[in-house]
C-alpha cells in the first residue's frame, strides 16, 4: 500500500510539473506571438494577392497549399535552424534579425515609392487565359511560400528573442506552438477574406431583403477592405522593420536612435492621463520607428535593385527583378 501511495505521489508531482510546463509554454507563446504581431498583420495582408485571378473553387485549395508550405517553413526549416544558431552561435541572431528588419523596410518603402511612382510595367497584367492554369497555380504557390519564408523567419526569430531563457525543449515547444497558431490565424483569416465576396454574392441573390442588403454591403466593402489591409501591411512592414533595426542597434551597444525615440515617447506621454500614457508611448515609438524604417528602406532600394539584384541574377542565371 505504501508503495502504491508513493507511486501516486510521484504521478501527482509529474502531473503538476506538466501543468506548470503547459502554463509556461502558453505564457511564453502569448508573449512571443504579441511581439511578432506586426509581421503577422503584414503576412495576412500580403497573401490574398496570390489567389487573385483564379476561379473561386481554386481559392481555398491554393490557400491550403500555401498554409502547408508555411508550416513547413516554420516547423521543419526555421525552428531547428534557429534553435541551432541560438545554441551554437547566439551572437548572430541579432544581426540576422536586423537583416530581416532591413528587408521589411525595403519592401515597405518599395510599396510606398511604387504607390507614388508606379513602375512602367505596372499596367501590364498577366494573361490568365493563355497560360496553363495548373502551372500558373504552382508558380503562384511557390512564390507565396518563398515570400512566406522571409516573413516566417522574422516571426520565428522575433518569437525566439521574446521567449525567456529556458531549456531547449521548452523553447522548441513554444516556437512550435507560436508557429502553428500564427499560421492557423493568418491563413484562416486569409481564407475568410478571399471568400467574403462569394458570401456577399450568395446573400445578394437571396429573396430576403435583409440578406440582400448584407450581401451587397459585403460585395461593395471587400475591395475597400483589401485596400485597407494593403495599407496596414505596408505600415506594419515599416514599423516592424524599423523597430527591429533600432532595437538591434541598441542591443549591439549603439544606443542611438533608440534612446532619443524612447525620450520623445516619454515626453509625449508625460502630460497625458495615466490611462493613455501607455498608448501614447507606443504610438510615438511606432511612428518614429516607421519613419526611420521608411528612410532606411528608401536608401536600400537602389542597393537592392542595382547591386544585390544583378548579383543574384548572375549567380542564378535569371533576369533580375525590377
Label residue 27 by pLDDT band (50, 70, 90). Answer: low
For 222-287, the DSSP string reads HHHHHHHHHHHHHHHHHHHHHHHHHHHHHHTT--TTHHHHHHHHHHHHHTS-HHHHHHHHHHHHHH
Inter-CA distances, 182 with 80, 185, 199, Å: 18, 5, 25
Confidence at residue 119, expressed as pLDDT on a 0 to 100 scale: 58
Q: Where are the domains of the chain?
A: 27-316
Range scoring the smallest mean pLDDT among 1-5, 181-185, 263-267: 1-5
SS3 content of the chain, % helix, strand, coil (to 5): 85, 0, 15
Label residue 135 by pLDDT band (50, 70, 90). Answer: confident
Label residue 103 by pLDDT band (50, 70, 90). Answer: confident
Give the Cα separation of 115 and 143 in Å (integer): 22
The DSSP secondary-structure symbol of 92 reads: G
Confidence at residue 48, expressed as pLDDT on a 0 to 100 scale: 64
Q: Does the pLDDT at position 101 exceed 60?
A: yes
pTM of the model: 0.68
- Mean pLDDT estimate for the chain: 74
Label residue 141 by pLDDT band (50, 70, 90). Answer: confident
Range scoring the smallest mean pLDDT among 80-94, 205-219, 277-291: 205-219
Tens-digit pLDDT profile for residues 266-306: 888 888 888 888 888 888 888 999 999 999 999 998 888 88
Give the Cα separation of 273 and 277 in Å (integer): 6
Give the Cα separation of 224 and 54 in Å (integer): 20
Which has more pLDDT, 108 or 214?
Answer: 108
Give the Cα separation of 42 and 148 in Å (integer): 10
Give the Cα separation of 289 and 112 in Å (integer): 16
Number of residues that this document lists for the chain: 322
Amino acid at each position: 500500500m505504501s508503495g502504491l501511495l508513493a507511486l501516486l505521489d510521484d504521478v501527482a508531482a509529474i502531473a503538476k510539473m506538466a501543468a506548470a510546463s503547459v502554463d509556461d509554454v502558453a505564457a511564453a507563446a502569448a508573449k512571443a506571438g504579441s511581439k511578432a504581431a506586426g509581421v503577422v498583420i503584414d503576412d495576412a495582408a500580403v497573401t490574398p494577392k496570390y489567389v487573385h485571378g483564379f476561379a473561386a473553387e481554386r481559392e481555398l485549395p491554393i490557400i491550403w497549399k500555401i498554409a502547408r508550405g508555411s508550416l513547413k517553413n516554420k516547423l521543419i526549416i526555421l525552428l531547428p535552424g534557429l534553435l541551432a544558431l541560438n545554441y551554437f552561435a547566439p551572437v548572430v541572431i541579432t544581426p540576422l534579425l536586423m537583416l530581416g528588419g532591413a528587408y521589411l523596410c525595403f519592401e515597405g518603402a518599395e510599396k510606398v515609392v511604387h504607390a507614388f511612382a508606379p513602375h512602367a510595367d505596372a499596367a501590364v497584367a498577366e494573361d490568365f487565359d493563355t497560360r496553363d492554369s495548373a502551372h500558373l497555380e504552382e508558380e503562384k504557390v511557390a512564390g507565396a511560400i518563398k515570400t512566406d519564408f522571409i516573413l516566417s523567419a522574422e516571426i520565428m526569430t522575433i518569437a525566439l528573442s521574446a521567449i525567456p531563457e529556458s531549456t531547449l525543449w521548452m523553447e522548441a515547444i513554444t516556437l512550435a506552438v507560436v508557429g502553428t497558431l500564427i499560421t492557423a490565424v493568418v491563413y484562416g483569416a486569409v481564407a475568410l477574406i478571399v471568400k467574403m465576396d462569394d458570401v456577399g454574392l450568395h446573400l445578394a441573390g437571396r429573396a430576403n431583403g435583409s440578406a440582400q442588403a448584407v450581401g451587397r454591403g459585403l460585395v461593395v466593402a471587400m475591395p475597400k477592405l483589401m485596400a485597407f489591409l494593403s495599407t496596414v501591411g505596408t505600415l506594419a512592414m515599416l514599423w516592424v522593420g524599423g523597430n527591429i533595426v533600432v532595437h538591434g542597434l541598441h542591443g549591439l551597444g549603439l544606443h542611438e536612435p533608440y534612446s532619443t525615440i524612447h525620450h520623445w515617447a516619454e515626453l509625449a506621454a508625460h502630460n497625458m492621463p495615466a490611462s493613455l500614457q501607455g498608448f501614447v508611448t507606443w504610438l510615438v515609438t511606432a511612428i518614429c520607428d516607421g519613419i526611420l524604417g521608411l528612410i532606411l528602406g528608401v536608401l536600400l532600394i537602389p542597393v537592392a535593385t542595382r547591386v544585390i539584384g544583378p548579383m543574384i541574377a548572375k549567380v542564378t542565371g535569371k533576369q533580375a527583378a525590377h
